[in-house]
């Protein structure tokens, strides 16, 4: 008997599920579900937290940057292999990234509308699935035309549904630290170029570009985990103490005045006193005196609810899924034109920097380091501009304008560089200035100099939509110029021209805002005088100022 008990004990120790099956306490699934639902529920703050769960959202945005823009900018390592595999030209292969960028930016209004309708989390989850699916299927394509669909359309749509909702909800979690946090979190794409570009290059040489794309698509599934961490934010200001006191004290005063009115009506008339009594100014207090005397005064807990129910209900304005009214703002139009032309210089240099280096006498193994140099410099650029824009005396739009002008100059000088070290210096300058522009041009929409944080979610969709046309034309334009001139430096000249035009329109943003403000203030004095005359001509009943009681339906004062 003792041996059988020891055998059973040893079985239970080796197989714990036998103990659970025989009546052992089961794990508390209710508590686990409660904790999960608590972390999935919206976060409620009395004001913009500048932290809190926003730090988790910032970490999620970092990894979203890694597997969206980081992968797009690193795709240039596959261009020579695709040209050799399918026998295509530079411009034909460049259309893969062009279509991807175009779809990503052209469908930005769709991302804004679906985020407003369904929330940021499900949209990013769907986008992460499409990104991973598009990259994995690209590994099994047999022509460049098929890549236009898999990498261009499917992954491009996923990039849009992933990036824009994430950067929008991150801007809602921060106010004072918005520029710095966004700049630090956006360094994800730079770390991707620094780490993944050499790693994928080495992997491609060992297993081929198809297996390399397959591994890249599996890693991009991390975006869905990041999407699950995007908790909605609700700003619910706390009621002031004065409003609470007024809500509680109105009903007892109403009852007191009603009783005093009954005494006053029996002894003093309005003609004798020369004053208008409460019974004449507020008939609802004296129309049924018996009911007033029998009705006990309401408790403090009942007063706010009763007052809310008796107030005339005004229908809440229906939120717009996408607000195109920003197109009537001259400052926003100038800013959108800046984004349109500046996009020409965002992607083409990363695609052609390695071929340019090889054509300038740099070894292929050392030319691959150019992307890493750009990535490291871009990290410092993002951090520096985040710190600079956090300084109070500096106007953020002026900082952005200076960076755009310098970036146009560097792009114009880039083709003149010859040799490894000269190209490395240009890559450092280009990466630093690109980081300052790329990390601030979308969050800048939340500033009052452009549209403001209230209109930022809708304006971001319209802004990125306008950018889409330059994203479609940029890389193919560079590839066409390269094919025509047989010189990779011509692609950088087209980027410099686009960045220069973008700087010109960016300089017109503040003058356009000032002109709009001056125009709106032109009729303000006349309107103010009319309001004053109307206020002076209207008699005021002093009893109505002290107390405005509720009037029953159908009774007028």
Q: What is the pLDDT of residue 461?
A: 77
- 441-481: pLDDT as tens digits: 888 888 878 888 777 777 877 888 887 777 777 777 777 78
Per-residue tokens: 302 = 């009942």
Highest-pLDDT range among 51-65, 178-192, 238-252, 525-539 = 51-65
- 528-539: pLDDT as tens digits: 444 444 444 444
Give which of 287, 111, 139, 297 is closest to 203, Cα–Cα: 139
Centre a 10 Å sphere on the Cβ of residue 39 and count the other Cβ atoms it contains. Answer: 13
- Please say if the pLDDT value at position 153 is more than 90: yes
- Bridge partners of 45? 235
pLDDT band, very low/low/confident/very high, at 35 (cuts 50, 70, 90): low
C-alpha 161/C-alpha 121 separation (Å) is 10
Quickly tell me which residue has 């025509």 as its tokens.
484
C-alpha 46/C-alpha 237 separation (Å) is 4
- Please say if the pLDDT value at position 373 is more than 50: yes
- 234-244: pLDDT as tens digits: 877 776 555 44
Cβ-in-10-Å burial (0-12, 13-18, 19+) of 416 comes to: exposed
Using CA atoms of 257, 263, 269, 275 in order, give the dihedral in degrees to the nearest 10: -30
- CA–centroid distance for 412 within its chain: 32
Instruction: Give percent of the chain above pLDDT 90.
Output: 18
- Please say if the pLDDT value at position 4 is more than 70: no
- 135-144: pLDDT as tens digits: 999 999 999 9
- CA–centroid distance for 137 within its chain: 29
Highest-pLDDT range among 317-326, 365-374, 527-536, 547-556 = 365-374
Q: What is the pLDDT of residue 308?
A: 38
Q: What is the pLDDT of residue 17?
A: 42
Q: What is the pLDDT of residue 246?
A: 45
Higher pLDDT, 297 or 67: 67
Higher pLDDT, 15 or 331: 331
Q: What is the pLDDT of residue 130?
A: 95
pLDDT band, very low/low/confident/very high, at 52 (cuts 50, 70, 90): confident
- 118-132: pLDDT as tens digits: 888 999 999 999 999
Give, as one character, the DSSP assignment of residue 320.
P
Highest-pLDDT range among 82-91, 126-135, 324-333, 527-536 = 126-135
Centre a 10 Å sphere on the Cβ of residue 396 and count the other Cβ atoms it contains. Answer: 20
Give which of 292, 56, 516 is closest to 64, Cα–Cα: 56
- Please say if the pLDDT value at position 232 is more than 70: yes
- Please say if the pLDDT value at position 407 is more than 80: yes
Q: What is the pLDDT of residue 168?
A: 84
Model confidence, pTM: 0.61
Q: What are the DSSP calls for 154-204, one per residue?
A: IHHHHHHHHHHHHHHHHHHH-STTHHHHHHHHTTHHHHHHHHHHHHHHHHH
Q: What are the DSSP calls for 228-256, one per residue?
A: HT---EEE-PPPPHHHHHHHHHHHHHHHH
Q: What is the pLDDT of residue 252?
A: 44
Q: What is the pLDDT of residue 550?
A: 47
- Please say if the pLDDT value at position 272 is more than 50: no
């Amino acid at each position: 008997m003792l041996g059988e008990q020891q055998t059973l004990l040893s079985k239970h120790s080796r197989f714990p599920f036998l103990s659970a099956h025989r009546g052992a306490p089961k794990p508390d699934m209710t508590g686990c579900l409660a904790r999960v639902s608590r972390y999935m529920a919206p976060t409620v703050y009395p004001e913009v937290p500048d932290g809190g769960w926003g730090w988790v959202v910032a970490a999620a945005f970092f990894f979203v940057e890694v597997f969206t823009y980081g992968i797009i900018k690193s795709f240039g390592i596959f261009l020579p292999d695709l040209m050799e595999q399918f026998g295509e030209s530079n411009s034909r292969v460049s259309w893969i990234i062009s279509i991807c960028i175009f779809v990503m930016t052209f469908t930005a209004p769709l991302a804004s509308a679906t985020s407003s309708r369904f929330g940021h989390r499900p949209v990013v989850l769907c986008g992460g699935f499409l990104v991973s699916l598009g990259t994995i299927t690209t590994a099994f394509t047999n022509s460049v035309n098929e890549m236009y669909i898999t990498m261009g359309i499917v992954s491009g749509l996923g990039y849009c549904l992933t990036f824009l909702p994430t950067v929008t909800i991150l801007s809602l979690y921060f106010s004072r630290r918005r520029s710095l946090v966004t700049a630090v979190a956006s360094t994800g794409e730079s770390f991707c170029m620094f780490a993944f570009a050499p790693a994928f290059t080495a992997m491609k040489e060992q297993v081929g570009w198809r297996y390399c794309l397959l591994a890249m698509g599996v890693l991009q599934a991390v975006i869905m985990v990041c999407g699950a961490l995007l908790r909605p934010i609700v700003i619910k200001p706390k009621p002031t103490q004065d409003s609470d006191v007024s809500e509680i004290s109105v009903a007892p005063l109403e009852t007191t005045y009603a009783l005093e009115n009954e005494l006053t009506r029996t002894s003093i008339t309005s003609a004798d006193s020369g004053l208008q009594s409460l019974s004449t100014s507020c008939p609802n207090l004296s129309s049924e005196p018996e009911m007033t005397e029998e009705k006990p005064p309401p408790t403090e807990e009942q007063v706010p609810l009763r007052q809310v129910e008796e107030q005339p209900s005004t229908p809440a304005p229906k939120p717009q899924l996408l607000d195109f009214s920003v197109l009537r703002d001259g400052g926003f139009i100038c800013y959108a034109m800046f984004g349109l032309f500046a996009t020409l210089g965002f992607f083409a240099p990363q695609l052609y920097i390695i071929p340019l280096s090889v054509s300038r006498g740099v070894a292929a193994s050392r030319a691959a380091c150019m992307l890493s140099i750009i990535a490291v410099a871009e990290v410092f650029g993002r951090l520096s501009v985040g710190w600079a824009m956090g300084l109070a005396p500096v106007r953020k739009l002026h900082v952005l304008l200076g960076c755009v002008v310098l970036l146009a100059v560097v792009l114009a000088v880039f083709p003149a560089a010859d040799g490894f070290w000269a190209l490395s210096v240009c890559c450092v300058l280009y990466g630093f200035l690109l980081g300052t522009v790329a990390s601030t041009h979308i969050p800048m929409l939340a500033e009052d100099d452009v549209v403001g944080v209230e209109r930022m979610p809708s304006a971001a969709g319209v802004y990125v939509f306008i950018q889409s046309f330059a994203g479609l034309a940029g890389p193919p334009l560079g590839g066409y110029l390269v094919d025509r001139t047989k010189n990779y430096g011509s692609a950088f000249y087209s980027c410099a021209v686009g960045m220069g035009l973008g700087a010109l329109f960016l300089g017109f943003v503040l003058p356009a805002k000032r002109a709009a403000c001056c125009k709106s203030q032109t009729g303000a004095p006349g309107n103010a005088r009319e309001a004053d005359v109307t206020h002076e001509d209207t008699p005021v009943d002093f009893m109505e100022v002290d107390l405005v009681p509720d009037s029953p339906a159908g009774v007028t004062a």
